[in-house]
C-alpha cells in the first residue's frame, strides 16, 4: 500500500499553482493563467541562472574554483533559512484546511512529513538554478571531475533540510511565546521587521565593504558566507579535500535535524496549531460608544486590519516599502559621497539625481498588497457578493492601502534622495510626482490583475502574497521598469520621468474607468 504521506504530498503538489485544475479544466482562462505562472517562473529561473554564471566565472577567474561547490551550497542554504524565517511556520501548522486534513485516516507524522516535503521541494527548486549553472561553469573553466559532481549534487539535495527545520522551529517558538499576548500580531510583525532590517543592514554592510575594490574579492565572500555564516558548508570542502566522511556527516546532520523536528512536533501538533490559530488573548469586555462611518471607510479599515493580521503576510506584502525607508535612513546618515569616496575621479552627485525615481519604482512594485487582496477573501468571498455595495467600491477599497503605504514612504525617500544628490528644481518637482503617480498605478494595477487572476483556493495567506500570478507580474514588472528608469534617468534626465508619468496617467485613468464599470465579481 502506498505510504499515506506520499499520497498527501502528491495531492498538495498537484494543487500547487493550479496545475491540477488546469490539467482537467476546460476553462481556457484557467489554462492561460497557469501557463502564465509557469512562464513567469521560467523567466525568474533564467535570471537567477544568469546571475550565478557571472558570479561563478568571477570566482574561478580568481583561482579559487575548488571552493565554489561549498559556496553554492552555503548560498542556497542561507537563502533558504532567510526565506523560511520570513515565511514563518503557518504553512506547516496553521493551515486553513487543518480540520479537513486531521479528519482523514492519517497520522500526524504523515501530515507533517507531507508538508515538509512540499516546503523542501520548493526550496530545492530554488537550489537547482543556483547549484547546477555554477557547477557547469566550474567544469568548463577548471575541468570535469566526477567526485566534485557527486559531492555537489548530494550537497544540493540535502542542503535545504537543516535551514528549513531550524527556521520553522524558531518561527514556531516565537509565535507560540507570543500567542497569549493581546497584540500578538503587532509584536510578531515588529519582530519580523527587525529580522528583515537586520538582514538588509548586514547585506548593505557587506556590499559597502566590497565596493572599495574594483572587483569583488571572492575570497572574502567565501570566508564570510562559508567560514562565518553557514559553517556546515565546510564539510563540503572537507570532502573535496580528501575527507570522504565530510559529505556523509553533512547528510547525517541534515536528516537527523529534520527527524528530531518531526518527532518532537508530532507529539504536540494539536497544541502548537491551537496556539498559532488563537485570535487573541482574552480581554475583559467594556462598553464603548459606537461611531458611525461610511461603508467605504469600513471596507478600507477591514483591509488594513487584514494587512496587520499576520507577520508573514505583512512583511511579504510590504517588504519593498520597508526597503525604501531603510534606503532613506541610510542616505540620511551616511550620504552618497561615502559610496564614491574610493574612486580616483570625483563623480558629480547630480548625475544620479534623476535615477531616484527608478529605485523607488523598484521598491514600490515589490509592495503591492492589492495584488493579493481579493484572493485573500478565500472561501469567505461569498460575503462580497451579498453586500449592498457596488463591486467598484470593494475593489477600490482593497487598492487604497497599497497607495497609502507606498506614497508616504516614496515621498520621504524622494525628499532625502533629492537633497543628498544635489537635484535641480525640475528634479525636485518630478521625482515626488512620479512616485505618487506610480504608487497610484501600482495600486490600481494590482487590484486589476487580482480581479483577472484570482486565487481563492489557498491554505495560507503568505502563499497568496508570494506565489500568485498578480504578485509575480507586479514584482518583476516593476523590477525591470525600475532598472530601466535608473539607467534612462542618468542618460535622458527628466525626459525619462515625463515618459513614465505620461504612461502612468493614461493607464491609471483606463484602470479607474474599467474598475468603476465593474458590476460583478468572478465566481472562479
pLDDT, tens digit (0-9, with 9 covering 90-100), for 71-81: 888 888 887 88
Q: Sorting pLDDT into bands at 50, 70 and 90, what band is 437?
A: very high
464 half-sphere exposure, CB direction, 13 A CA radius: 28
Q: Which three cell numbers stand for residue 202?
A: 548586514
Q: How far is CA 399 from CA 287, 317, 387, 465, in A?
A: 33, 13, 18, 14
pLDDT of residue 510: 92
Closest of 318, 273, 260 to residue 172, by C-alpha: 273
Average pLDDT of 318-343? 72
Closest of 340, 46, 195 to residue 187, by C-alpha: 195
Q: Sorting pLDDT into bands at 50, 70 and 90, what band is 43?
A: confident
- Contact between residue 410 and residue 333 where contact means Cβ atoms under 8 Å apart: no
Choose between 180 and 138: higher pLDDT: 138
Q: Sorting pLDDT into bands at 50, 70 and 90, what band is 210?
A: very low
User: Residue 291: is its pLDDT beyond 80?
Assistant: no
pLDDT of residue 497: 81
Average pLDDT of 361-380? 83
Q: Which of 31-40, 186-195, 240-249, 515-524 is the most confident on average?
A: 240-249
Q: Give the CA angle between residues 468, 474, 477 to the nearest 5°.
A: 125
Choose between 468 and 523: higher pLDDT: 468
User: Residue 202: is its pLDDT beyond 60?
Assistant: no
pLDDT of residue 377: 79
Q: Sorting pLDDT into bands at 50, 70 and 90, what band is 324?
A: confident
User: Residue 443: is its pLDDT beyond 70?
Assistant: yes
Average pLDDT of 301-327? 80
User: Residue 215: is its pLDDT beyond 50?
Assistant: no
Closest of 297, 219, 257, 223 to residue 60, by C-alpha: 219
pTM value surpassing 0.75: no
User: Residue 205: is its pLDDT beyond 70?
Assistant: no
% of residues, the chain, pLDDT over 70: 71
Choose between 341 and 10: higher pLDDT: 10
Residues sharing a CB contact under 8 Å with residue 159, sequence separation 6 or more, in sequence order = 73, 76, 77, 80, 127, 254
pLDDT of residue 346: 52
What gap in Å lies between CA 507 and CA 445, rounded to an integer? 9
Q: Sorting pLDDT into bands at 50, 70 and 90, what band is 183?
A: low
State the residue for C-alpha cell 534622495.
Answer: 417
Residues sharing a CB contact under 8 Å with residue 36, sequence separation 6 or more, in sequence order = 453, 469
Average pLDDT of 438-447? 90
- Contact between residue 69 and residue 502 where contact means Cβ atoms under 8 Å apart: no
Amino acid at each position: 500500500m502506498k505510504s499515506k504521506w506520499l499520497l498527501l504530498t502528491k495531492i498538495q503538489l498537484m494543487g500547487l499553482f493550479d496545475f491540477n485544475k488546469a490539467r482537467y479544466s476546460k476553462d481556457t482562462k484557467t489554462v492561460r493563467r497557469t501557463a502564465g505562472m509557469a512562464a513567469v517562473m521560467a523567466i525568474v529561473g533564467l535570471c537567477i541562472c544568469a546571475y550565478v554564471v557571472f558570479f561563478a566565472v568571477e570566482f574561478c577567474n580568481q583561482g579559487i574554483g575548488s571552493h565554489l561547490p561549498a559556496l553554492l551550497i552555503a548560498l542556497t542554504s542561507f537563502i533558504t533559512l532567510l526565506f523560511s524565517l520570513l515565511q514563518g511556520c503557518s504553512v506547516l501548522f496553521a493551515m486553513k484546511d487543518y480540520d479537513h486534513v486531521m479528519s482523514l485516516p492519517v497520522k500526524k507524522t504523515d501530515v507533517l512529513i507531507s508538508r515538509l516535503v512540499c516546503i523542501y521541494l520548493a526550496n530545492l527548486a530554488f537550489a537547482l538554478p543556483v547549484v547546477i549553472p555554477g557547477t557547469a561553469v566550474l567544469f568548463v573553466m577548471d575541468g570535469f571531475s566526477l567526485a566534485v559532481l557527486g559531492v555537489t549534487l548530494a550537497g544540493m539535495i540535502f542542503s535545504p533540510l537543516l535551514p528549513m527545520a531550524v527556521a520553522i522551529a524558531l518561527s514556531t517558538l516565537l509565535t507560540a511565546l507570543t500567542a497569549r499576548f493581546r497584540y500578538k500580531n503587532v509584536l510578531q510583525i515588529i519582530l519580523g521587521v527587525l529580522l528583515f532590517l537586520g538582514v538588509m543592514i548586514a547585506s548593505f554592510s557587506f556590499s559597502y565593504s566590497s565596493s572599495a575594490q574594483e572587483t569583488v574579492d571572492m575570497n572574502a565572500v567565501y570566508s564570510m558566507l562559508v567560514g562565518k555564516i553557514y559553517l556546515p558548508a565546510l564539510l563540503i570542502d572537507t570532502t573535496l579535500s580528501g575527507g570522504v566522511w565530510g559529505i556523509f556527516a553533512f547528510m547525517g546532520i541534515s536528516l537527523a535535524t529534520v527527524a528530531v523536528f518531526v518527532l518532537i512536533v508530532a507529539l504536540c501538533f494539536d497544541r502548537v496549531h491551537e496556539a498559532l490559530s488563537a485570535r487573541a488573548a482574552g480581554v475583559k469586555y467594556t462598553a464603548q460608544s459606537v461611531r458611525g462611518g461610511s461603508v467605504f471607510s469600513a471596507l478600507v479599515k477591514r483591509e488594513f486590519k487584514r494587512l496587520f493580521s499576520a507577520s508573514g503576510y505583512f512583511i511579504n506584502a510590504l517588504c519593498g516599502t520597508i526597503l525604501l525607508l531603510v534606503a532613506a535612513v541610510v542616505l540620511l546618515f551616511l550620504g552618497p559621497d561615502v559610496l564614491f569616496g574610493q574612486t580616483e575621479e570625483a563623480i558629480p552627485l547630480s548625475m544620479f539625481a534623476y535615477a531616484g525615481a527608478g529605485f523607488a519604482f523598484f521598491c514600490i512594485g515589490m509592495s503591492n498588497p492589492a495584488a493579493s487582496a481579493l484572493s485573500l477573501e478565500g472561501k469567505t468571498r461569498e460575503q462580497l457578493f451579498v453586500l449592498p455595495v457596488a463591486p467598484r467600491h470593494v475593489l477600490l477599497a482593497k487598492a487604497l492601502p497599497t497607495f497609502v503605504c507606498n506614497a508616504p514612504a516614496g515621498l520621504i525617500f524622494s525628499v532625502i534622495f533629492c537633497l543628498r544628490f544635489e537635484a535641480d528644481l525640475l528634479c525636485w518637482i518630478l521625482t515626488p510626482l512620479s512616485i505618487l503617480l506610480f504608487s497610484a498605478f501600482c495600486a490600481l494595477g494590482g487590484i486589476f490583475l487580482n480581479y483577472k487572476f484570482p486565487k481563492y483556493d489557498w491554505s495560507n495567506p503568505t502563499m497568496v502574497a508570494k506565489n500568485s500570478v498578480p504578485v509575480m507580474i507586479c514584482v518583476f514588472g516593476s523590477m525591470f521598469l525600475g532598472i530601466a528608469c535608473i539607467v534612462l534617468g542618468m542618460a535622458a534626465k527628466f525626459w525619462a520621468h515625463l515618459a513614465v508619468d505620461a504612461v502612468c496617467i493614461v493607464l491609471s485613468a483606463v484602470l479607474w474607468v474599467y474598475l468603476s464599470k465593474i458590476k460583478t465579481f468572478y465566481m472562479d
